[in-house]
């Protein structure tokens, strides 16, 4: 059986939730006439309550350290501070009663009074949520109550939302995401005066940790981006993106890298990799221990990589057609330069979506033989179940993106913030606490360095991508879209395909990636990998991490059908892919002549990783 839970189990919440249908206040129905407005109003009021809470706590925190927060001192100094009926304005109090019901409020009140008397049952504090790992969250009644209050409220909000039948499923998904963002931000672990670890370290360092954290925050504010890793730890071509190769072709949109061979003989059919232009290509070449590029070379594959140019104002009118034509141009360049009839092609995420369009164009033009096989990493073509990113495709978000693209491109920092929000607990608030409030040093982590190495996006392309694919889902409607004057019909594609999805992928959910199978007419192998959008792809066999699942039975109609009969294999799926690739054509040729950059018709322009990857 496949388990899609995160391995760290960071959803620990032992607080009981209560069914309050029969105990809701009579005013609740009026509050829920418009479920979305009601919940957003509640979030605003709860935020005001939290602000008042921390404002009231400030003078108290100046007098006590975590060790002095005994039940006696709390009872004397906080007798009314956490009384919910006094903390909230009347409207917020009414909404809280409507959402939680009398029984739920009784639970909160009971916990508060128990904390004040020192009798709080702290067994519920023992959870696997790493935000509350410090021992004071369990041993100190005050912090144990804060934690339990927070977890209980977030659980009740989720339960309340699931019970609403007056909003559409689409609105419910968007509101679920918004609630998750709110509660990730509202965690007591995110604030100095309600996190015992922050207070403890500030006392131990005599305030030095706070000073260092303020400097970290000031640095991030000046560059307009959250820092995740030591900015001086990595240098392109030195200890990251360091596999030897040459740039052999350049256009205004991309550079083409040909890597040096690592075996005496190579597969006759070369491989071209199209990475997403939303990030830098070197996610597939982080370091020798993680590099897909290096591993593929070691298997005897001639590898080419496309390095996309980060957009500037000159690319304001670049549209999807240009990216499709760029992929076809790269295929033609390799075929001509190596004097071969076809290539194997890999498309990752948005570049995989684009590869589908390119294949449809080639099939329509009778040129499908140029691609012997196509591999799709975490690729969607049907965006009906497009994942958490759909929360950023509403009318309001589109207006924001339009305003942010006034120079003809969307600043990469905007997209970085968007992706961080998809996992805000881990990629935003974790770093706010560790680096701003605790003043910790940044780690040297190559994956996080890549994550923060942003690229700008052409405004015209980005707007059409959101509207045509995420909002209108036009790619799966035959001939509804055209590229370079050619109608796109994915059903024409008969190229053998290998489709990889990540079981924990929140950007391109496995359920959505699965649907690609339904739109292709050629033979398909579908592989479900452990982990998510990045780690599920970048999983070197030597790491011996995760697992993958295969199910080659006929008549599978859904991902659930696939999972029900899937066979699990421990470790990386890369060797399975390579075996499949050799099944398409295992002819070998000597690694000489044009197989070495500069020895054939393709000129050497510069050393890898090239100029484009360094452009900001």
pLDDT score, position 524: 98
Please tell me which residue, 378 or 66, carries the higher pLDDT value.
378
Residue 108 is predicted with a pLDDT of: 53
Structure tokens at 485: 């004057």
pLDDT at residue 285 greater than cutoff 50: yes
Q: Tell me how many domains the chain contains.
A: 2
Whether 185 and 292 share a structural domain: no
- Average the pLDDT over 393-404 and give the result: 87
- The per-residue pLDDT for range 462-473, each reduced to its tens digit, is 999 999 999 999
Asked whether residue 209 is domain-assigned, the answer is: no
**Cβ(274)–Cβ(348) below 8 Å:** yes
- The yes-or-no verdict on residue 40 having pLDDT over 80 is no
Region 13-39: mean pLDDT is 36
Q: What is the mean pLDDT of the chain?
A: 83
98 pLDDT more than 70: no
Q: Looking at the predicted structure, is the pLDDT value of residue 144 above 50? A: yes
Whether residue 553 is contained in a domain is answered as yes
Nearest-angstrom CA–CA distance, 478 and 471: 17
Domain assignment present for 187: yes
Statement: residue 443 has pLDDT above 60: yes
Q: pLDDT tens, 293-327?
A: 999 999 999 999 999 999 999 999 999 999 999 99
130, 134, 140, 144: CA torsion to nearest 10: -10
Of 178, 196, 214, at which residue does a domain stop?
196
Is the pLDDT at 149 greater than 90, yes or no?
A: no
**3-class SS string, 468-504:** HHHHCCCCCCCCCCEECCEECCHHHCCCCEEEEEECC
Q: Tell me whether residue 241 is exposed, middle or buried, using C-beta atoms within 10 angstroms of its C-beta: 0 to 12, 13 to 18, 19 or more.
A: buried
Task: Check whether residue 492 and residue 381 sit in a common domain.
Answer: yes
Q: pLDDT band at residue 192, thresholds of 50, 70 and 90?
A: confident
Active site residue 349: yes
DSSP symbol at 232? T
Cβ–Cβ < 8 Å for 442, 435: yes
Question: For residue 52, how many other CB atoms are within 10 A of its CB?
Answer: 15
Within this chain, do residues 31 and 176 fall inside the same structural domain, yes or no? yes
Question: Of 196, 215, 230, which one is at a domain's C-terminal end?
Answer: 196
391, pLDDT greater than 50: yes
The secondary structure of the chain in percent helix, strand, coil, rounded to multiples of 5, reads: 50, 10, 40
Residues 72 and 178 in one domain: yes
Nearest CA to 166 out of 35, 24, 40 is that of 35
Q: Are residues 285 and 141 located together in one domain of the fold?
A: no
Question: How does DSSP classify residue 536?
Answer: T
Q: Are residues 38 and 101 in the same domain?
A: yes
The answer to whether 192 and 203 have CB atoms below 8 angstroms apart is no
- Pseudo-torsion of CA 19, 20, 23, 28, nearest 10°? -160
Burial class from Cβ neighbours inside 10 Å (0-12, 13-18, 19+) for residue 218 reads exposed
Asked if residue 459 belongs to a domain, the reply is no
Residues contacting residue 498 through CB under 8 Å, at least 6 positions apart: 373, 374, 375, 376, 524, 525, 527, 577, 580, 581
Helix H segments across 301-372?
320-338, 350-364
Report the C-alpha gap between 296 and 331 in whole angstroms.
18
Walk across the sheet containing 343-348 and list its strands: 567-570, 547-550, 524-529, 497-502, 371-377, 343-348, 271-274, 303-308, 254-259, 245-250, 606-607
pLDDT bracket for residue 552 (50, 70, 90): very high
| pLDDT category of residue 138 using cuts at 50, 70 and 90 | confident
Sole residue written with tokens 């041993």: 139
pLDDT by residue (tens digit) across 158-170? 888 888 888 887 7
Q: How confident is the model at residue 68 (pLDDT cuts 50, 70, 90)?
A: very low
Q: Are residues 295 and 358 in the same domain?
A: yes
Q: Could you tell me if residue 307 is inside a domain?
A: yes
Residue 418 lies in a domain: no
Place of tokens 């398909």: 524
Report yes or no on 337 lying in a domain: yes
Provide the 8-state DSSP code for 530: S
pLDDT level of residue 276 (50, 70, 90 thresholds): very high
In this predicted structure, what is the pLDDT of residue 178? 81
User: What pLDDT is attached to residue 500?
Assistant: 98
Please give the average per-residue pLDDT across 97-123, as a whole number: 52
The 3-class secondary structure across 337-351, one letter per residue, is: HHCCCCEEEEEECHH
Is there a contact between 295 and 574 (Cβ–Cβ < 8 Å)? yes
Q: Are 147 and 27 within one domain?
A: yes
Task: For residues 109 and 190, state if they share a domain.
Answer: yes
Same domain, 187 and 249: no
Between 173 and 360, the higher pLDDT residue: 360
Report for 16-30, 204-218, 436-450, 594-608: range of highest mean pLDDT? 594-608
Per-residue pLDDT tens over the stretch 482-499: 999 999 999 999 999 999
Reference 111, options 542, 415, 364, 100; nearest CA is: 100
Specify the CATH number for the domain of residue 361: 3.40.50.1820
Q: How far is CA 287 from CA 134, 183, 303, 378, 447, in A?
A: 34, 36, 16, 22, 10
For residue 361, is pLDDT > 70? yes
Q: Could you give the 3-state DSSP secondary structure of residue 60? A: helix
Give the DSSP per-residue string, 411-476. -HHHHHHHHHHHTHIIIIIHHIIIIIIS-PPPP--HHHHHHHS---EEHHHHHHIIIIIIIT--TT
pLDDT at 575 over 60: yes
Angle 188-190-194 from CA coordinates, rounded to 5°: 45
589 vs 43, which has greater pLDDT? 589
Is the pLDDT at 280 greater than 60? The verdict is yes
Angle formed at CA 230 by CA 228 and CA 233, multiple of 5 degrees: 135
In a domain, 438, yes or no: no
Give the pLDDT band (50/70/90) at residue 375: very high
Q: How confident is the model at residue 122 (pLDDT cuts 50, 70, 90)?
A: low
Question: If we measure between CA atoms, which residue out of 521, 502, 524 comes closest to residue 511?
Answer: 502
Domain that holds residue 159: 21-196
353/25: higher pLDDT: 353
In this prediction, residues 189-200 reach a mean pLDDT of: 90
Confidence of residue 66 (pLDDT cuts 50, 70, 90): very low
Q: How far apart are CA 381 and CA 356, in angstroms?
A: 8
Higher pLDDT, 98 or 608: 608
Give residue 448's Cα distance to chain centre: 12
Q: What is the pLDDT of residues 327-355, one digit of tens each?
A: 999 999 999 999 999 999 999 999 999 99
Of the candidates 349, 389, 481, 594, the residue annotated as catalytic is 349
Pick the more confident residue, 127 or 601: 601
Q: Tell whether 503 and 380 lie within a shared domain.
A: yes
Q: How far apart are CA 448 and CA 8, in angstroms?
A: 19
pLDDT at 152: 83
Residue 212, exposed/middle/buried by CB under 10 A (0-12, 13-18, 19+)?
A: middle
Strand-strand pairing, 567-570 and 588-590: unpaired
Same domain, 294 and 192: no
């Amino acid at each position: 059986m496949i388990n899609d839970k995160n391995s760290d189990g960071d959803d620990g919440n032992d607080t009981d939730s209560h069914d309050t249908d029969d105990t809701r206040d009579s005013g609740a129905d009026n509050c829920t006439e418009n479920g979305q407005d009601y919940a957003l109003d509640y979030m605003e009021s709860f935020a005001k309550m939290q602000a008042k809470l921390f404002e009231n706590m400030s003078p108290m925190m100046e007098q006590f350290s975590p060790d002095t927060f005994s039940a006696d001192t709390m009872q004397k100094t906080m007798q009314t501070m956490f009384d919910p009926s006094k903390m909230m304005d009347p409207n917020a109090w009414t909404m809280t009663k409507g959402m939680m019901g009398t029984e739920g409020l009784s639970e909160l009140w009971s916990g508060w009074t128990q904390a004040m008397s020192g009798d709080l049952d702290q067994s519920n504090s023992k959870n696997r949520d790493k935000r509350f790992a410090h021992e004071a969250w369990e041993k100190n009644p005050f912090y144990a109550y804060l934690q339990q209050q927070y977890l209980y409220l977030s659980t009740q909000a989720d339960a309340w939302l699931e019970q609403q039948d007056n909003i559409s499923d689409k609105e419910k998904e968007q509101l679920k995401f918004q609630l998750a963002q709110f509660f990730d931000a509202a965690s007591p672990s995110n604030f100095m005066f309600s996190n015992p670890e922050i207070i403890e370290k500030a006392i131990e360092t005599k305030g030095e940790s706070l000073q260092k954290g303020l400097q970290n925050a000031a640095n991030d504010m000046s560059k307009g981006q959250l820092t995740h890793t030591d900015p001086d730890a990595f240098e392109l071509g030195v200890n990251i993106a360091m596999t030897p190769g040459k740039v052999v072709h350049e256009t205004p949109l991309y550079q083409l890298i040909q890597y040096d061979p690592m075996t005496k003989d190579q597969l006759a059919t070369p491989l071209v990799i199209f990475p997403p232009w939303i990030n830098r290509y070197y996610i597939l070449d982080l370091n020798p221990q993680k590099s897909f590029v290096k591993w593929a070379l070691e298997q005897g594959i001639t590898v080419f990589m496309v390095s996309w140019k980060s957009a500037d104002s000159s690319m304001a009118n670049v549209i999807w057609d240009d990216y499709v034509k760029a992929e076809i141009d790269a295929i033609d360049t390799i075929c001509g330069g190596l004097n071969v009839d076809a290539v194997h092609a890999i498309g990752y995420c948005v570049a995989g979506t684009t590869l589908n369009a390119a294949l449809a164009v080639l099939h329509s033009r009778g040129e499908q033989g140029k691609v012997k096989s196509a591999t799709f990493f975490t690729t969607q073509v049907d965006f009906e179940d497009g994942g958490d990113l759909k929360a950023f495709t509403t009318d309001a978000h589109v207006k924001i993106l339009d305003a942010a693209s006034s120079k003809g491109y969307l600043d990469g920092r905007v997209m970085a913030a968007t992706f961080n929000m998809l996992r805000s607990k881990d990629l935003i608030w974790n770093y706010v606490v560790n680096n701003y409030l605790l003043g910790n040093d940044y780690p040297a982590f190559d994956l996080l360095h890549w994550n923060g190495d942003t690229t700008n996006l052409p405004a015209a392309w980005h707007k059409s991508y959101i509207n045509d694919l995420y909002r209108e889902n036009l790619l799966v409607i035959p001939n509804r879209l055209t590229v370079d004057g050619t109608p796109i019909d994915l059903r024409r594609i008969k190229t053998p395909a290998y489709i990889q999805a990540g079981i924990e992928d929140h950007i391109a959910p496995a359920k959505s990636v699965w649907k690609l199978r339904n739109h292709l007419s050629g033979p398909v192998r579908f592989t479900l990998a452990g982990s998510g959008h990045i780690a599920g792809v970048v999983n070197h066999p030597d790491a011996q991490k995760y697992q993958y699942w295969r199910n080659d039975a006929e008549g599978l109609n859904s991902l659930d059908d696939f999972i029900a009969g899937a066979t699990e294999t421990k470790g990386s799926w890369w060797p399975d892919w390579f075996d499949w690739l050799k099944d398409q054509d295992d002819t070998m040729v000597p690694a000489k002549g044009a197989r070495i950059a500069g020895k054939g018709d393709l000129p050497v322009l510069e050393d890898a990783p090239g100029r484009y990857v360094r452009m900001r």
